[in-house]
Amino acid sequence: MQYSFRGGVRLDFHKKTRGKRIEMLPAPGTVTVPILYSENRAAELFVSVGDTVAIGQPLGNAGGGLWCPVHAGVSGRVVEIRQGADPLSGPYIGVVIENDGQDTPAPTVQPFAKSLQDATGEELLEVIRNAGIPSMVTETLPVYAVIESSIGRVDRIIVNCTECEPYLTSTYRLLMENPAAVINGVKILLKAIGVRQALLAVDNRCMDALNKLEKLLDGSKMIFGRAVDAKYPMEERTLLYAMTGRELPAGKTAVDAGCVMFRAETCAAVFQAFAFGMPYVRRVVTVAGNCIASPKNVSVPLGTSVQDLIAFCGGFRKSPASLVLGSPMTGCAVASTDQLITKDTVAVLALSRPTAENAASACIRCGRCVDVCPMHLMPHAIVRAAERSAWKRMDRLSVTACMECGSCSYVCPGGVDVTAKVAAAKEAYRTHLASREEAVEDVVEEVVEEVVEETVSPEEILVPETPAAPKEDAVPEIISVFGEDAAAVDNTAKPVPEGEKLILTLDGKEDAAHEEE
């Protein structure tokens, strides 16, 4: 069966690092661990300049959507705390650690004391929360928050093991070198959420990785591998439809459709936290592009500079015209190698300028952008409506549903950056709505002031008669100002049916055992 979705594009492979095993980058002399924050929530620091830290020791809590702990990836001494900004993740407080070369683990880095069968969902959630693991699917949310929001609302887990963009191979190498960590992480997540089915979505160009997974699953009744059509973008909405046939409306998440999604890297990190007590202090980064001397997949301590990472890969063999932090379709071009490796950095790409560029820059109305849009939008029509400030038409065209995947720009024969134009239209539309709301608030305030000025004088107020006392057998009338009572929402996990027990082990085998009555 072909698991696919409508729209999307098939991108060039360009995966020369596919056969390169993951290498461990020796921790550099200094790292700057970023602790992110936002305008609405400040970061919380646990260390000061001069403090000695160990690997896995909490340095602080990142702000933003929800608290997420950040840990040291090297042992040593805090020599500086400074402000900075990441082009992908935003502003941060950087904790600069001078590496002592001892790789001393923190006392808290200990395996979970119980077996998976004996652990409760609450205990597993606490382990995941303390590990500081990012979602990698839902932006700004740590994985523990995704788990909490899904308990009692989903019936299955979907694990995204695909890499449909060029150059990226870190997930593929994880599946080839350590598939057991991914499967065991899935089992832990099944237990924590309280569901009994997981689907592993693997790119159909990586059947060798799928075969490794299925060999370890050994006919599992709970976890299933699926080959999906290698189209971009393979994100939350498109993968949900490909795997289940469920459409996800704009503004909703997969949890609203009864599924919760994780990346394969997230599952492996959950297993590392459970089995070894190691929080999320390293991530695998693909370093590639035709300007890199020796492209590699590298396990990097968080806070390592891009310059140190590129030096580990032999440096530049020629000067790059474009240095991209992140994936080629949705990453960010940076001007220098002074950037840091964060929890969100999947790749560092050094690319030369294309040999030929399309000189055209006008829409020819071919409709290709409509064919490939995974959100079923009409990008060319949105751009034309934005040029005329046709706000009502932009609303009818669902401009805010655009996920800015870049598919429309990729296929445009006219060389138009359609994605950038639609993104600008979306921002202009939101600004227009905000200005309208402010105008409405001003009108309401004026009306309220007029009503207050026209209130009656005390002489015009009539004193009502004292009501008669009710009879003893009279039933007082109860009027609810809120209408019908709201139904309580049960957010607890669905109980396992009576007579059925969930058995999960960490050796790659599990089944549902039925007890005799």
pLDDT in tens, the chain (517 residues): 679 998 999 998 889 999 999 999 999 999 999 998 876 677 889 999 999 999 999 999 987 556 789 999 999 999 999 999 888 778 899 999 999 999 999 999 999 999 999 999 999 999 999 999 988 876 568 999 999 999 999 999 999 999 999 999 999 999 999 999 999 999 999 999 999 999 999 999 999 999 999 999 999 999 999 999 999 999 999 999 999 999 888 788 899 999 999 999 999 999 999 999 999 999 999 999 999 999 999 999 999 999 999 999 999 999 999 999 999 998 899 989 999 999 989 999 999 975 344 444 688 889 999 999 999 999 999 999 999 999 999 999 999 999 999 999 999 998 899 999 999 999 999 999 988 877 776 666 666 666 655 555 555 545 555 555 555 444 334 333 333 333 333 433 444 444 444 445 544 444 444 344 3
Asked whether 166 and 410 are in contact (CB, 8 A), the reply is: no
Packed helices 143-150 and 179-193: angle between N→C axes, nearest 10 degrees:
40
Provide the whole-model pTM.
Answer: 0.81
**Residue 142 three-state SS:** strand
Alpha-carbon torsion, ordered 119, 123, 124, 129, to 10 deg: -170
Phi, psi of 187 (to 5 degrees): -65, -40
- Residues 6 or more apart whose Cβ sits within 8 Å of residue 188: 116, 124, 270, 271, 274, 504
Which 3-state string (H, E, C) describes 66-127?
A: CCEEEECCCCEEEEEEEEEEECCCEEEEEEEEEECCCCCECCCCCCCCCCCCCCCHHHHHHH
**Residue 420 three-state SS:** helix
| Residues linked to residue 514 through DSSP beta bridges, in sequence order | 500
**Cα 487 to the center of its chain, rounded Å:** 31
d(CA 308, CA 27): 10
Question: Pick from 143, 131, 213, 134: which is nearest to 172 by CA?
Answer: 213
Phi, psi of 340 (to 5 degrees): -110, 155
Structural domains in the chain, CATH included, are: 1-14+109-280 (3.40.50.11540), 284-351 (3.10.20.600), 368-432 (no CATH), 444-516 (no CATH)
Packed helices 121-131 and 143-150: angle between N→C axes, nearest 10 degrees:
150
